[in-house]
Amino acid sequence: MTRLGVVLVLAATVGACGGPAAKTQPTSTPASGPTTTSTVATSTTPPPGDGLDVIVPPDTDGKYPDDLVVSCSNGRFPIGALDEIRPLEEADPGGVVAVIEAFLSNDEGRQWPQEGWQILHQSDGEVQLVAKRDDGQLAFMSVVDDGSGWSWAGASLPGDPCELEFIVPDHLNSVDWRLDPAGPQLTPDSRQIPVILNERECVGGQDIGARLLGPEIVMTETQVFVAIAAERPGGDAFDCQGNPDTPFVVELPEPIGARELVEGMEIGIDLADYVD
């Protein structure tokens, strides 16, 4: 087991930008009475090369830095873009509307929402658009400018709620975790958390093994955030036959108490709540 990359942060709460609370993992931990909020934050830095540093706790007002880049579906954008989503018709950046209308009018485009497209984020050479379908799912589209004008670049339909996530560095794979149903019931004194890991990206069914990085742990007075990643295996291409589950034990720097366990990669904000 690798050493823990531990960051202990007091008095940070989740609920940024008015979004819903972060998704939690049930712990069966009984309440232990009211807690007080400290205004003093303390932290320890993970050892160089052994720590995972992706979790960005919100400030004391529950806000994240506007320039924090997050992911949703296949797109990446700064979280501050949530406050700037606007109808496509109100802000045509140099011909994007014409490109979208041309796509929507062809055979493939007719399968996508015909109205309600909004600009999610615009950067140099790319515009990311989002629309909410009648069933509540989000559809995404992008257009790019390679210097010769805007052109349609693709569309996607995730099929799941688009909850914002922190981004692991490009050389790493994301690792999902869940509580091990065969593990012991957690108590306020628990410091060892048995979990099951599963690597998200395709790696040809390889075990994580020594490629595991982390976990990164962020503890507040009410929650414990746990994020895990993995070094990418050598090679250029892997099939998606399914990755094996890997038992693992997360060791906390102090007893869990009455805190909730939270998937550390998830920010707790669903993009759908910001799209009309």
Say yes or no: 107 and 221 in one domain.
Answer: no
Say yes or no: 175 and 268 in one domain.
Answer: yes
**Domain stops at, among 161, 192, 217:** 161
Phi and psi (nearest 5°) for 205? 75, 15
**Domain stops at, among 138, 161, 184:** 161
> What is the structure's pLDDT at 251?
96
CA distances to 55, 99, 151 from 138, in Å: 25, 20, 21
Cα(105)–Cα(119) distance, integer angstroms? 19
Residues of the chain under the 70 pLDDT cut:
1-51, 74, 91, 159-160, 236-237
Say yes or no: 53 and 185 in one domain.
Answer: yes
Token representation of residue 49: 């090369």
> What is the structure's pLDDT at 74?
66
Token representation of residue 183: 């593990």
Say yes or no: 168 and 269 in one domain.
Answer: yes
Contacts of 160 (CB under 8 A, 6+ apart): none
**Domain stops at, among 115, 134, 161:** 161
Say yes or no: 43 and 90 in one domain.
Answer: no
Say yes or no: 153 and 109 in one domain.
Answer: yes
Say yes or no: 107 and 169 in one domain.
Answer: no
CA Rg, the chain, in Å?
21
* 78 and 68 Cβ atoms separated by less than 8 Å: yes
> What is the structure's pLDDT at 120?
93
Phi and psi (nearest 5°) for 103? -65, -45
Say yes or no: 182 and 106 in one domain.
Answer: no
Token representation of residue 87: 């109808």
Say yes or no: 21 and 117 in one domain.
Answer: no
Domain range holding 145?
75-161
Say yes or no: 212 and 191 in one domain.
Answer: yes
Say yes or no: 171 and 151 in one domain.
Answer: no
> What is the structure's pLDDT at 201?
85
Q: Angle at the Cα of 202 (from 201 to 205), degrees rounded to 5?
A: 120
Say yes or no: 126 and 186 in one domain.
Answer: no
> What is the structure's pLDDT at 134?
85
> What is the structure's pLDDT at 82?
93
For 108-135, the three-class secondary structure string (H helix, E strand, C coil) is CHHHCCCCCCEEEEEECCEEEEEEECCC
The domain total for the chain is 2
Token representation of residue 122: 């615009």
